[in-house]
Amino acid sequence: MKYIAISCDHAGFELKERIKQVLTEKGYSIKDFGPSTDDRMDYPDAIHPLAKAIDKGEIASGIIICGSGNGVAMTANKYANVRAGIAWTPELAELTRQHNDANVLSLPARFISEEVAFECVDKFLNTDFEGGRHATRVDKIAIPC
């Protein structure tokens, strides 16, 4: 069973629910960090718990969603072991995995269709990190403690 974390703000709620449905049908187990409604809320409240779980190694990868994809990515990327990449095309989702070893996909709900979002998720979940010259760069991302 493949395990995926997912979280969003109010702007991403509808897309989060659809992605959960599609991934569950494909055999994924989903850990939903909220919210549970589309009521207005502050994205850090839902993103911090997901990012902490990935940072600690409790979950390997996740999907985060807000209106632009930026706020949730900025929040998640505060954690040393989280590499959240924003994608609005399947090619960007693929490259953020191949070249950046992203473990979190950030989607801009207000700027992509549901179909494109599903394509991005598919590329993200089915693309491996290339390593090599990219590994040297990725190793330099986290700030040493």
CATH number of 40's domain: 3.40.1400.10
Query: What is the pTM for the complete model shown?
Result: 0.95
- Does residue 144 sit within a domain? no
Residue ranges making up the domain that contains 70: 2-138
- Local mean pLDDT, 10-residue blocks, the chain (145 residues): 91 98 96 96 97 97 98 97 98 97 98 98 95 85 75
Q: What is the pLDDT of residue 115?
A: 98
Parallel, antiparallel, or unpaired for β 28-32 and 62-66?
A: unpaired
Please identify which of the residues 99, 120, 134, 145 carries the catalytic annotation. 99
Please identify which of the residues 8, 10, 66, 120 carries the catalytic annotation. 66
**Is 8 part of the annotated catalytic residue set?**
no
Q: What is the pLDDT of residue 102?
A: 97
Which residue shows structure tokens 């693929």?
A: 94
- Does residue 143 sit within a domain? no
Structure tokens at 94: 């693929």
Alpha-carbon gap, residue 26 to 89, rounded angstroms = 21
The count of domains in the chain is 1
- Does residue 34 sit within a domain? yes
**Is 66 part of the annotated catalytic residue set?**
yes
Q: What is the pLDDT of residue 143?
A: 77
